Amino acid sequence: MFNTFAHTAIDTIQTGKKYAVTTTVKYEPLADIMIKFVDVQTQYTKNFIDSLITTSTSLVELSMTKDLGTQIVESYAKPTEKSVSKKAK
């Protein structure tokens, strides 16, 4: 759902860039290259957003599992060798 909003925002910004290129760049071959660059930039940004959403969703799901939470709490509850040796000195 969030990626739909992100893609809409990306498309809006990139459409504005294309409009700026078509209205300001009068040399057609340069304008075509710049528009192709904006298209590539659009696809890259959308892929990045999709990857970011997938990764963050996976991390949130992983952090919500009881096993991971228990492991984290137990790892912090156990004293480490360094902390034990510092207290002994």
pLDDT of residue 86: 58
Identify which has the larger pLDDT, 88 or 15. Answer: 15
Is residue 88 assigned to a domain? no
Among the residue ranges 1-15, 16-30, 74-88, the one predicted with the least confidence is 74-88
Q: Which two tokens stand for residue 10?
A: 């990306």
Is residue 83 assigned to a domain? no
Is residue 87 assigned to a domain? no
- Residue range of the domain that includes 38: 2-77
> Do the beta carbons of residue 42 and residue 10 sit within 8 Å?
yes
Is residue 82 assigned to a domain? no
- Averaged pLDDT, 1-7: 84
Is residue 85 assigned to a domain? no
First-to-last CA distance in the chain? Answer: 56
Instruction: Give me the number of domains the chain comprises.
Output: 1
- Reported as a single tens digit per residue, the pLDDT across 39-86 is 999 999 999 999 999 888 887 877 776 676 676 777 777 666 665 555
